[in-house]
Structure 1
Amino acid sequence: MTVAAARSLVDEMTRTPTGRSSVSVYETGRLVSLSPWLTLHVERIRHLLDAERPDGGWGGPDDGYALVPTLSATEGLLAALRRGDLDAVAEPLAKGAVAAVDRGLVFLRDRLATLDASRLPDMPAVDLIVPALVEALAAHLAALRETPVAGLEAWRDVPAPPLPPGLRRTRLERVRAALASGHPLPEKLLHALEVTGPAAHRAAGVAPVGPGTVGASPAATAAWLGTPDPGTDVARRYLEAVVRQYGGPVPCTSPISVFERSWVVSTLIRAGLPVPVPATVLAGLRDTLGPTGTATAPGLPADADTTSVTLYALATSGQPVDPSSLWSFDTGEHFCTWPGEDGASITTNAHVLDALGWHLRHPGPATGDGGTVPSADRARLAAAVHRLSAWLADRQEAEGSWCSDRWHASPYYATWCAVLALHDYGVGPAVGPAVQRAVRWVLAGQHADGSWGRWGGTAEETAYALQVLCVAGATSTPATAQAVDRGRRWLSTVESVEDGPALWHDKDLYRPSLIVRAAVLAATWLGRPVGSADPGDPEPPLRSAMIRIA
């Protein structure tokens, strides 16, 4: 029933114009702290209490990933307790909040002094968020000396928490000073506007866009808004809509429709799943593309990652658009996610290789409304494809993976992106050996139960590994065929793909559920035995099949 499930996925995606993501402890904690007036405030507090781990932390499976959500949840709950937000609700909830804060403070006391900044994951604005939250937490602890909170007396005379070794406040201070003086911030920093504190409130040069968001972030919007008044109805309505969609807690980014739709469509197309995609979805993606590409969401800058996946989704669905918008991200060595980026992303460059590689393989004159690139630009395309192929191969780890990327916690995601791009569009002598090293690494990483995963087997990471093997591995060899069979069998035992962990990088780890489901369906389709009888699925599976436009 893979095709039927994929059709259901596309229908669900079409019916949800804002997209859907997992909720974020970090972002929810910021709304608890900043917007106690906002609908479903108590539900956000309950979510934080329910999400706390037994060790007092929140968030990811190691201390690096847990620091930001734990700081946010602890500070948010402490702000709510100091304001008396829970005085009028059930006493057990207030006691639960006190106990959660106490455990969170113990966790942070033990981690902040020892967790070196170099161990923090490369997530958006982490060097701004951590100092801002440590500062806010220090202010709360100082206030407890004058106005204690019952149950937290032990923290009245505790000194201010330190920053992790190696982390400085310098960049945060520069950003705050620039905003306070009226200087416009880079658009990407608006996503974390809440770190600027009081300076964010109705900051000069900052205004809601699209559905009413600042930086595509509930927290950034709340920091800009403060207490609503008639002049801020659009931002208030945005926040109200997000909290109602998710039942109180909120994701880091909303809406995510361009990101979600481009990833889902391109993943299903690449696997050859014969599923109709509504013409309105493709038209919507096409309309977002401008001279500088497209952004994940209103309020964010255009980026090479979303632009290239959107271009690839449209091209492989029969509606190619001239990819010249990508040239603004070309550094001469690789492609940046956005101009001025620190570092570089493996997966962004793999996606750019997909987009440019497709257009290089499909020559033809550009038309007035898009199409493939003019022949005069093909030399530039070919040079970029050669350069990206070599750049990706050079950054492969010795054991065969691409293990470090700023947009995902798992090396299986980065390896999947790199392998598929190199296998399908890479050129040069390094490509074949790089792909085969990756296949061997994937084979060696399979768990005893047939799954794959960084911290334990997950459906998402198993799907990436299976696609690598099915696309680039010699599935006729016994070892690969057995690994694929074991992986498919394990996937068939997963009751719900929705229950997996959050592995994607934003200000907090998150899970774009429809994108993950698309990856699992693609792996199931690619990995099924030819000749298998799956009701509703045509035979045989053809990876190169085109998705039909409905």
Structure 2
Amino acid sequence: MGPCTMTWVREQASALVAEMTGDPFGSFSASVYETGRVVSLMPSLDGHDERVRYLLRQQRPDGGWGGPGLYGLAPTLSAVEALLRQPGEDARIAAQRGLESLVDNGMVPDTVAVEIIVPGLVQEINAQLGKALAVPGGMTVETLAKLREMMDRGLALPDKLLHSLEAFGSSARGAGFVEPTEYGVGCSPAATASWLGDGKAHPYLAAVQDPETRAVPVAAPLATFERAWVLSTLAGVGVPCTVPGDVVDWLAAEFGESGVAGGVGLPPDADDTAAALHALAKLGRPRSTDTLRGYRVEDHFATFADERTPSTTTNAHVLQALGASREGHREVMSKLALWLRDRQERDGSWQDKWHASPYYATVCCAVALAEHGDECTASSVRDAVGWVLANQRPDGSWGRWAGTFEETAYAVQILLRTNVSHEAIPEAAARGCAFLFQNQDAEHPPLWHDKDLYTPLRIVRAEGLAAMYLGLANAEVARLLAYSR
């Protein structure tokens, strides 16, 4: 635990930015789903035995893998399918326990490409077992079958599906419409392995492995995503840290006609574009928001083309980017603010498809509305603060399933960035900040949505530093923090 001082926060933030600037891949947690696919698709890749052991160690006591409830569906299917291919009793028993853990008991979370990943894995498992495991969650194989038929006819898939190319089985191998980069295919180890096929080495697959477990992240490299979020968060609350000019220049240079992509091999999207625009504006390097126009859909913005479900947090980030630009987008911003207001839950929170926790969606939406909303959205911001105050845990933390560093950071920011006056805020924020200071070295459970739940480690760290800075900058909260020590 570090000292509770502004100097310490500034030094920690500067060190985080410096570390991030020197890493072209980004710092992200390992993925059971993605590692299982690499185990299955490329057993000849160096580190195979270590990856198998990683899967065995990650199995939960109930036999499943991954997050709570049906968040564990895709990683469990991936691990089972991979372990069924491995020799040895340990792998066989683990796979059987995994199968027994599967329960079709509700709506499957809206994670990336879940509608094709889950049916594809069920088909692969059935092919090995010679039986018909049902496709859970009310899903069907029709979408996957149509896309595979397209590929077999030599037609290209939409760019966004390259990230999940492994779902297409043998149809993906050497597909002619795929143009790999030095970072593989689709910003994904599994997609890269599926396109290459077993026995073909690629330096990217070696570079993204954890040096000890040899597990891989769900996506890499994600330097643009990481840098945009970290810089937007720190600059957005005014943390006085050192930001090298090189990293600002790099982020500005990433823009193309359609904005920026989160990582190499992904298509540009409104979310990363908005976050990068907001960061650059806050760092004194504003650029035109014209790149966002192509994502507008009536009164809101799509994250990318042909989006199944709109994202509240993408639209909150767009609202912040438009507001920070000072380009006079008042009419667009007013409509967007009302769109966000109308998607607030009855309890005062928001939900979103890019994160498992309502605290992430709520901090994005409440802060954007507090900064760029009007009297029509003020009550939404107050309701969000009320929801946070009503859900603090006895130890001062917040969290969907348990109190976490990440979710507590979001809750503290909601309390201290929204300009809502409430007598309970200082004490609640001080207790939250105390939890943050005491739990800086805690493990951060995966909460972010991709094909599997994952943790963007530096982004979470930045959110915590931002919350601690806000607490120390607030005289009443800082007084209560000092008293508590």
Matched residue, 2:361: 414
State the 1:528 CA deviation: 2.1
State the 1:472 CA deviation: 1.5
RMSD: 1.7
Letter in 1 for 2:193: A
Matched residue, 2:462: 518
State the 1:440 CA deviation: 0.5
User: What pairs with 1:141-540 in structure 2 (closer than 5 Å)?
Assistant: 141-142=129-130, 159-209=131-181, 211-229=182-200, 236-243=202-209, 247-360=213-326, 363=327, 378=328, 381-402=329-350, 404-427=351-374, 429-474=375-420, 477-497=422-442, 499-528=443-472, 530=474
State the 1:102 CA deviation: 2.0
Name the SS of the counterpart of 2:347 in structure 1.
coil
Q: Which runs of 4+ in 1 moved over 3 A?
A: 244-247, 529-534
8 Å contact 2:210–2:216 — kept in the other structure?
Answer: no
8 Å contact 2:27–2:457 — kept in the other structure?
Answer: yes
State the distance in 2 between where 1:246 and 1:506 align. 23
Letter in 2 for 1:520: G
Q: Are the structure 2 counterparts of residues 453 and 300 from structure 1 closer, same or farther at C-alpha, using a change threshold of 3 Å?
A: same
Which ranges of structure 2 fall in alignment gaps of 5 or more residues?
Answer: 1-7, 479-485
State the distance in 2 between where 1:212 and 1:519 align. 28
State the distance in 2 between where 1:102 and 1:124 align. 26
Matched residue, 2:105: 115
Q: Are the structure 2 counterparts of residues 42 and 532 from structure 1 closer, same or farther at C-alpha, using a change threshold of 3 Å?
A: farther
TM-score when normalising by structure 2 = 0.94
State the 1:493 CA deviation: 2.0
Deviations 1:99-128 (A, max 9, x none): 2112112113xx1xx334xx1001111010
State the 1:98 CA deviation: 2.4
Deviations 1:448-485 (A, max 9, x none): 1111000010000000000010111546x431111111
What is the percent sequence identity of the aligned residues?
46
Letter in 1 for 2:73: L
Matched residue, 1:131: 119
Q: Are the structure 2 counterparts of residues 102 and 310 from structure 1 closer, same or farther at C-alpha, using a change threshold of 3 Å?
A: same
State the 1:303 CA deviation: 0.2
Matched residue, 2:4: none
Of 6, 9, 15, 2:16 maps to 9
8 Å contact 1:358–1:425 — kept in the other structure?
Answer: no
Letter in 2 for 1:501: P
Q: Are the structure 2 counterparts of residues 474 and 389 from structure 1 closer, same or farther at C-alpha, using a change threshold of 3 Å?
A: closer
User: What pairs with 1:41-60 in structure 2 (closer than 5 Å)?
Assistant: 41-60=48-67
Deviations 1:487-537 (A, max 9, x none): 11222221514x021000000000000000000000001012656999xxx
State the distance in 2 between where 1:495 and 1:399 align. 29
State the distance in 2 between where 1:347 and 1:533 align. 28
State the distance in 1 between where 2:25 and 2:156 align. 28
Count of aligned pairs: 471
Q: Are the structure 2 counterparts of residues 393 and 246 from structure 1 closer, same or farther at C-alpha, using a change threshold of 3 Å?
A: farther
State the 1:424 CA deviation: 1.0
Q: Are the structure 2 counterparts of residues 430 and 299 from structure 1 closer, same or farther at C-alpha, using a change threshold of 3 Å?
A: same
Name the SS of the counterpart of 1:496 in structure 2.
coil
State the distance in 2 between where 1:382 and 1:340 align. 27
Matched residue, 1:146: none
Deviations 1:244-287 (A, max 9, x none): 55741001100010000000001001121100111111111111
Q: Are the structure 2 counterparts of residues 529 and 295 from structure 1 closer, same or farther at C-alpha, using a change threshold of 3 Å?
A: closer
Matched residue, 2:43: 36
TM-score when normalising by structure 1 = 0.83
Letter in 2 for 1:417: C
8 Å contact 2:354–2:449 — kept in the other structure?
Answer: yes
Letter in 2 for 1:202: G
Q: Which structure is larger by alpha-carbon Rg, 1 or 2?
A: 1
